[in-house]
Structure 1
Amino acid sequence: MTQPLKVHLIAAARPNFMKVAPLYHVLRRAEWCAPLLVHTGQHYDHNMSGAFLAELGLPAPDYHLGVGSGSHAEQTAGVMVAYEKICLAERPDWTIVVGDVNSTLACSLVAAKLLIPIVHLEAGLRSNDRTMPEEINRIVTDRLADLLWTPSPDGDENLLNEGVPAEKIDRIGNIMIDSFELQRGQIEALAVAEGLGLEAGNYSVVTLHRPSNVDRRDTLGTIVDALLDLAGRLPVVFPIHPRTKARLAEFGLLEKLLGHPAVTLAEPQPYNAFMSLVMNARLIVTDSGGLQEETSYLGIPCLTLRENTERPVTVTEGTNRLVKANQLSAEVQAILAGKGKAGRRPDLWDGHAAERAAESLRRHAMARAAAAQP
């Protein structure tokens, strides 16, 4: 490679930037690479500001597509149209997409049709639930990708079972752990729990947002009752998602939480503040994907209110357990009695995934360049 590789790093929302940041920094230091940030704007987020990017050590995006909200079809089509224009005007050598949002699928489709090699960061994750739009995005992106970076052995196995050649798969580990370690100093300095009058190691954190949990009154009511039972044993901090808050109010459940002295309802937190709460918690109750990983890394018991998970390694090796709402109280009691699930950090969840990813890209790019020589 005589000229530095022009590499597009695609991000659509805050979680994508969290995962892109460690890789951007490693690639930026490499003489063989010229990384460029592409923000699709799929999710409007008032916290997506210069201050947030500066917190991650990132510059302003090189390209901002400004697609905004809409249906799945509208978002996917909008990103495709906007990203294609960029690729035709200033063609990248590689496109790196992250995770499972609509922008990931859209940019992969554009790159594949323009014969731009694609890397999928967080490849191979499967919930085996095709009612989840994210699952469709994962499957199609993995079929299009030329290089697939997996976080754990189950990702490798899923891809191999789907017919992906082994030489396309590189297990690099979990890059979200790199993000946490990148921010750890700032996170530890915040002491958010202390500011809320809570004792480190003696409270729980709750997050809920999935339609399967919050869109039906009977289901959400069962969860609220379980959370009130939890609050009777351990203080609860609940950064509340706007969708969840609206449903709680609609179903007449919000007042039940507001009226409990051991429940703190908070606004959605920036990453550093939220992780300050998480890393000092006794246990976590969630339906999120990323929290299953972070709690396994930190050794914190996690109860996930879902029927399935695209991150099964957090259950087989980590501290995560899948539970139903009517099981929550019994699981909490077991954890508080010292009988909770013990886990360990999965292999390669060590804060060095970005370095392995960069080396993988360098190696595959060189091989591709060599194969193109007459």
Structure 2
Amino acid sequence: MKILSIVGARPNFMKVAPLHRAFASREGLESKIIHTGQHYDARMSDVFFKQLELPEPDYFLGVGGGSHTQQTARTMLAFESVLQAEKPDAVLVVGDVNATLACALVAVKEHIPVVHVEAGLRSGDRRMPEEINRILTDSISDYLFVTEQAALDNLKAENVPDEKVFFVGNVMIDSLVHYREKARQLPLLSELGLEPESYVLMTMHRPANVDHVAGLRSILDLIKSTAAYRTVLFPIHPRTRNNMAQFGLQTELEAIPNLRLLEPQGYLEFLQLMENACLIITDSGGIQEETTCLKVPCLTFRDSTERPVTVELGTNFLLADLDPQTVHRHVVAILEGKMKTGTIPPLWDGQTAGRVAEILASSLQKK
């Protein structure tokens, strides 16, 4: 049985890596990786593939940037020929990027079963392109593997048949568990001259925060107020860096005392930085999950989250009013030791990929 696994952006790599290992270890399952190139930076993509011990992709579609419509259309056209050549038994998509929806659409039109890993997550905000991708992908998937109870509840509310839905845990945490010790061995902290828990780690990249002056100014205010208490490490996303320059804010950013701007980091490097931070401020989705597993306080600068378990059980705080002053109050409280310890959600145990492989091997064989 042949499964084509789709990666389109770096967060997908961390999810597909444990799945590929689990498939490859099972007799009778053939795993091939298709890289659409939705987000592609040769240096960073190569680093992620090497660190996650992924083989070279069997196909690289070279889709590149562009609008959401352009990316989706180019991916569909390129993937169609791959599907016709490979004739797989299933197409596996992860997360919520444009490549996820595009490849799922092509597969379902070719009557090939679609497997969605990380199904059922909902932010409730349809202004987010990712939310549309999640909803549409789930509506056409044959196997929906979910990470948390809220996802089960969402799919039930959308009348997805129970027999399609499987609560298996979180493959992102599989990678974290698998590579955590390897990340600890890196000399990065000493090279940066930092002690554990002596810094705040920040990431910001969502268009709602970085594609306009008001959002970028809020980020500058966040950094200034936080850097008054701790060193701020900011691995700056290319989109954020470019917009800071475009709106004439790059000089102001670089002049902030106690700020360390870094290039985007490899997976292992960033895992080490997360584990040793005293606090993380982010607008990312996956980081909310990783910090919950690491039990590091996380402030999410968004007005909604598709991962509510990270707030309900984990260490994540959702800053719904998007006010830098609110962030400042939380920063001070956390640095004073007023933080929730959190618990790791059910089945976030590093064994999720094995459960997915077992279910697919059994179900696809019956077909």
Query: What TM bracket, shorter-length normalisation?
Result: over 0.9
Q: What residue is the counterpart of 2:285 in the other structure?
A: 289
Whole-angstrom CA distance in 1 between matches of 2:327 and 2:228: 13
Q: What residue is the counterpart of 1:350 in the other structure?
A: 349
Equivalent positions of 1:320-339 (< 5 A) are: 320-323=316-319, 324=322, 325-339=324-338
How far apart are 1:48 and its partner, in Å? 4.7
Equivalent positions of 1:1-374 (< 5 A) are: 5-48=1-44, 50-323=46-319, 324=322, 325-367=324-366, 369=367
Whole-angstrom CA distance in 2 between matches of 1:29 and 1:334: 47
Whole-angstrom CA distance in 2 between matches of 1:246 and 1:48: 17
Find the residue that maps to 1:35 and give its secondary structure: strand
Whole-angstrom CA distance in 2 between matches of 1:233 and 1:137: 39
Find the residue that maps to 2:260 and give its secondary structure: strand
Amino acid at match of 1:287: D
Kept after mapping to 2: 8 A contact 1:222/1:326: no
Kept after mapping to 2: 8 A contact 1:194/1:200: no
Amino acid at match of 1:356: R
Find the residue that maps to 2:253 and give its secondary structure: helix
Find the residue that maps to 2:4 and give its secondary structure: strand
Whole-angstrom CA distance in 1 between matches of 2:38 and 2:249: 31
Find the residue that maps to 2:244 and give its secondary structure: helix
Whole-angstrom CA distance in 1 between matches of 2:44 and 2:226: 33
- CA separation of 1:184/1:241 partners in 2, compared to 1, >3 Å: closer, same or farther? same
Q: What residue is the counterpart of 1:372 in the other structure?
A: none
Whole-angstrom CA distance in 2 between matches of 1:149 and 1:128: 20
How many positions carry a matched residue from both structures? 364
Whole-angstrom CA distance in 2 between matches of 1:306 and 1:148: 26
Find the residue that maps to 2:340 and give its secondary structure: coil
How far apart are 1:156 and its partner, in Å? 0.8
Kept after mapping to 2: 8 A contact 1:228/1:257: no
Whole-angstrom CA distance in 2 between matches of 1:209 and 1:52: 19
TM-score (norm 2): 0.95
- CA separation of 1:222/1:74 partners in 2, compared to 1, >3 Å: closer, same or farther? closer
- CA separation of 1:238/1:48 partners in 2, compared to 1, >3 Å: closer, same or farther? closer
Whole-angstrom CA distance in 1 between matches of 2:315 and 2:301: 14
Deviation digits for residues 11-56 of structure 1 (CA, Å, limit 9, x no counterpart): 1122212110101011101002011111112222123555542322
- CA separation of 1:37/1:226 partners in 2, compared to 1, >3 Å: closer, same or farther? closer
Whole-angstrom CA distance in 2 between matches of 1:315 and 1:82: 39
- CA separation of 1:61/1:196 partners in 2, compared to 1, >3 Å: closer, same or farther? same
How far apart are 1:161 and its partner, in Å? 0.5
Find the residue that maps to 1:42 and give its secondary structure: coil
Whole-angstrom CA distance in 1 between matches of 2:170 and 2:92: 16
Q: CA-atom RMSD, angstroms?
A: 1.5
- CA separation of 1:275/1:85 partners in 2, compared to 1, >3 Å: closer, same or farther? same
Kept after mapping to 2: 8 A contact 1:318/1:346: yes
| Identity fraction in percent | 51
Return 5+ residue gaps in structure 1 as ranges: 370-374
Amino acid at match of 1:216: H
Kept after mapping to 2: 8 A contact 1:191/1:276: no
Look at both structures and tell me which one has the larger radius of gyration over its CA atoms.
1
Whole-angstrom CA distance in 2 between matches of 1:48 and 1:31: 32
Amino acid at match of 2:145: W
Q: Which consecutive segments of 4 or more residues in structure 1 shift more than 6 A?
A: none
Amino acid at match of 2:348: W
TM-score (norm 1): 0.93
Whole-angstrom CA distance in 2 between matches of 1:270 and 1:286: 17
Kept after mapping to 2: 8 A contact 1:13/1:45: no
